[in-house]
Amino acid sequence: MNATLGAGFVSLGLAAAVLGVVGVGFGLATRNGRLLARSGNYVVLLAIAAVGQFAVMERALITRDFTVAFVAEHGSHRTPALFNVATLWSALEGSILLWVLILVGYLVAVTWRFRGHLGDPLVAWALLVMFVVCAFFFLLLAGPAHPFGRFEPPAGYDGPGPNPLLQNHVLMAFHPPVLYLGYVGFTVPFAFAVAALATGRMGEGWLVQTRRWTLVAWGALTVGIMLGAWWSYEVLGWGGYWAWDPVENASFLPWLTGTAFLHSVMVQERRGMLRVWNLSLLSATFALTILGTFITRSGVLASVHSFTESGIGPMLLGFFALVVATTVGLIAWRGDDIRVGGSIDSPVSRTGAFLANNLLFGSFAFVVLLGTVFPLLVEAANGSQISVGNPYFERMTMPIGFALLFLMAVAPALPWGRADAELLSRRLVWPAVAGGGSMVLAVAVGSRGWAPTLAVGLGGFAAAGAFRQLAPAVRARGLRGLVGRSSGGMVVHVGVAIVAVAFACSSSFLRQAEFRFESVGDRASIAGHTLVFEGLESVAHPEKTEVRAVVLVDGQRYTPAISVFPFGGQTIGTPSTRSSWRDDVQLALLAVPDGPGPTIVRVTVQPLVYWLWVGGGVMAVGTLLAAVPGGRRRDDAPVEAQPGLSDVVA
C-alpha cells in the first residue's frame, strides 16, 4: 500500500508541476491575468504531493514496511528511532524526496508572499521558473530515482539499516535538512533574476523583493556547512573538520558566490551598478547547487558523503547545462538593457572595496571549482584517475582568505565616495591597534609561524572594525541597534573573524600521536595533557556492539570506541572528544587486542576548535538580525523604483 500510495503522490506532483508550467506559460503568452491568478491551484496540488510522498516514505520507514524497496535497502528493525526517521535522507532516493519537499515549501511561501500579485508578469515568470524546477525533480522521482519501487521480502527479512557512519551521531538528523534549506533556497532569487531578464524590468525592485529570501538561503547554507564540519569532527576521528572533500566543496561553492552577491547587491542598490555581475552571480549560485547535487548523487567522485552511481547523474548534468545556457542566453539578449552608466568615484571607496571583495570571492570560487572538477576533466579526457589534495587548496586559498579578512575590516569604514587619509586614519586606528595587539598576544602565548600569527592579527582587525560600526548603533538604540541589515551584517563579520582565527590556529598547531597501552594504569602525555589507561569495556546496543577504551584525560573519563555493526560485519570508530575554550583533546581507538597485546589510541590536540562552533553560531545570529527590519529609514534605498512590484510590502 505504501508503495502504491507514494507512487501516486509522485505522479500527482509531476502532473501538477507540468500543469503549472503549461498554465502559467500560456497565461504569460496570452497575457491572461486570470490564468496567472490560478497558479496558486497548482501550488496547492504540489504541496499535497510533496507532503504526501514524504509522509508515506516516513511511515514506511517507521513501520519497517520492507515491501518498499527503499526501506528494504536502507531500513532495519535494529536502527534507533531518530536515525530511522533520518534514514529517509541517508540515501539517494530519499534525499530527493527531502529536496522536493523543501523546494515546494519555498514555492508555497513565495506564492503566499505575493498572493495579491500573481497576475504581475514578474511574479508569474518567477513562479514559472520554480514550476520548471519542480517538474524536473518530480521527473527524477518518477524516473531514475524511483523511491517507491516494490520488493517482496522473504519471511523474517530485516534490512541492513543506513550506512553506519550515518547512524553514529545525532547531527545526522539535522545537518542534511538545514543544508538543503540553503541549497534549495537559492531557487527563489534565481527565479526572480530570470523573471527580471524575461520581462525586461531590470531596475532594482526585484532585488528588494528577494533580499531576505537570499539572506535566509545563505544563512541556512552557512549553518548547514558548520553542522557538517562539526559532524565530521565528531564522527570520523581523524582530528579535523574540513578536508576539502569534493562534496564539502560542492556546498562551499554556492556559499562563496552567494556571499559575493550579498555584498555586490548593495552596490547595485546604492549606485545602480553591477547589474550584469549580480545577475551572473545569482545564476552561478543556483547552477552550482545543481552541479553540487550532481557531484553528490552521481557517484562520479569518491567521497565519504556521496551516494552510489545512479541514472540521475546524466539528467542532473543536462539540467545544469540547461540552466547555464538559458541564463547566459538571457543575459546576452538583455545586454543593452542591463548595462547602465556609472563609475567608481575612487578605488579607495566602499564601492571600490566591494568590487575588490567580489573579485576575491570569484577567484576563491574558481580555485575551489578547478580543484574539485579537475579530476573529472582529466578522466573524461584520457581515462586517468587523479586527485587534488589539501596542499593545492591551502596554498591557493590562503592569500585570498587573508585579503578578504583585510577588506572585511576596511570596507565598512570607507564612504561610498572618495575617502581621504584623515577619515581613514580616524576610522581605522583602533581596529588597527586591536589587530596589532592580537598578533602580539598570539606570539606571547606561543604562536609560531607567520600564517597563523597574521590570521590572528587580521581577525582582530576585522572584528574590531565590526565592533566600531556596531558601537554607535548600540549606544543610540540599545540592543535594538543590533537589528537590521547593516548591524546584522557586522555581527556576521564578527563570527567570520572568530571562525578564521580558530581555523588558522587549530590547523596550524595540531598535535597528534598514537599511544600503545599494554596494561591498566599505563600513562602517556601530549601537549601538556596526561592520559591514564583504565582498560576496555564492551557495551551491546540493538544496532551495534561497542568495544570502548576507558582513558582518563587530566582526570576526566573518556571512552573512544570501535563499533561493530552486525550486518556485513561493518566496523567503524567512534571517537571521544574533550572540548574546552582553550583546546580540544580527541581520542580515537585504532585497535584492540584479541588476546594479550596493546590497545592503540590516537590522540589529537588542537587549540581553539571550540571557537569554530561559537563563530558559526555568531554568524547564524547575525543572519537572523540582518533579516529583521531595523526600524530605520534605509540609507541604501534603490536608485529607482520598480514598476509593478515597488508597492509590494517588503
Confidence grade of residue 569 (pLDDT, cut at 50, 70, 90):
low
Highest mean pLDDT among 74-78, 340-344, 462-466: 462-466
What is the pLDDT, as a whole number, of residue 610? 94
pLDDT at 295 over 90: no
Tens digit of each residue's pLDDT (9 = 90 or more) over 407-422: 998 988 888 777 777 8
What is the pLDDT, as a whole number, of residue 593? 87
pLDDT at 636 over 60: no
Exposure of 438 by Cβ count < 10 A (0-12 exposed, 13-18 middle, 19+ buried)?
Answer: buried
Give strand pairing partners of 579.
584
pLDDT at 634 over 60: no
CA distance 450 to 544: 46
Whole-number percent of the chain with pLDDT over 70 = 93
3-class SS at 147? coil
CA distance 96 to 80: 23
Angle at 368 between CA 212 and CA 181, to 5 degrees: 30
Among 11-15, 107-111, 397-401, 504-508, which stretch is predicted with the lowest mean pLDDT?
504-508
What is the pLDDT, as a whole number, of residue 551? 95
pLDDT at 3 over 70: yes
What residue type is assigned to position 243 of the chain? A
Q: Which three cell numbers stand for residue 319?
A: 539540467
- For residue 263, give the nearest of 223, 201, 215 by alpha carbon: 215
Highest mean pLDDT among 154-158, 389-393, 495-499: 495-499
Give strand pairing partners of 547.
538, 562
Among 266-280, 433-447, 548-562, which stretch is predicted with the lowest mean pLDDT?
266-280
| Residue in this structure with the C-alpha cell 545512479, named with its chain if needed | 310
pLDDT at 644 over 60: no
- Beta strands in 437-582, from DSSP E residues, in sequence order: 511-517, 523-526, 529-540, 545-553, 556-558, 561-565, 570-574, 576-579
Confidence grade of residue 341 (pLDDT, cut at 50, 70, 90):
low
CA distance 395 to 155: 57
Tens digit of each residue's pLDDT (9 = 90 or more) over 88-116: 998 888 999 999 999 999 999 999 999 98
447 versus 368: which is more confidently predicted?
A: 368
H/E segment holding residue 604: strand 599-607
CA distance 560 to 384: 39
Tens digit of each residue's pLDDT (9 = 90 or more) over 470-496: 999 999 988 888 998 899 999 999 999
What is the pLDDT, as a whole number, of residue 111? 96
- For residue 45, give the nearest of 68, 14, 71 by alpha carbon: 14
What is the pLDDT, as a whole number, of residue 237? 78
Q: What is the 3-state secondary structure (H, E, C) of 162-209?
A: CCHHHHCCHHHHCHHHHHHHHHHHCHHHHHHHHHHHHHCCCCCHHHHH
What is the pLDDT, as a whole number, of residue 631? 56
Q: Which three cell numbers stand for residue 400?
A: 585570498
Tens digit of each residue's pLDDT (9 = 90 or more) over 121-158: 999 999 999 999 999 999 999 998 899 999 999 988 98
**Average pLDDT in the 501-517 region?**
93
H/E segment holding residue 583: strand 583-591
Confidence grade of residue 620 (pLDDT, cut at 50, 70, 90):
very high
Angle at 379 between CA 378 and CA 382, to 5 degrees: 80
Tens digit of each residue's pLDDT (9 = 90 or more) over 299-310: 555 554 444 455
What is the pLDDT, as a whole number, of residue 649? 31
Tens digit of each residue's pLDDT (9 = 90 or more) over 198-227: 998 877 677 777 888 999 999 999 999 999
- For residue 531, give the nearest of 510, 546, 549 by alpha carbon: 549
Among 78-82, 179-183, 248-252, 631-635, which stretch is predicted with the lowest mean pLDDT?
631-635
pLDDT at 332 over 70: yes
Mean pLDDT of the chain: 88
Whole-number percent of the chain with pLDDT over 90 = 61
**Average pLDDT in the 508-536 region?**
93
pLDDT at 174 over 50: yes
Tens digit of each residue's pLDDT (9 = 90 or more) over 266-292: 888 887 788 888 899 999 999 999 998
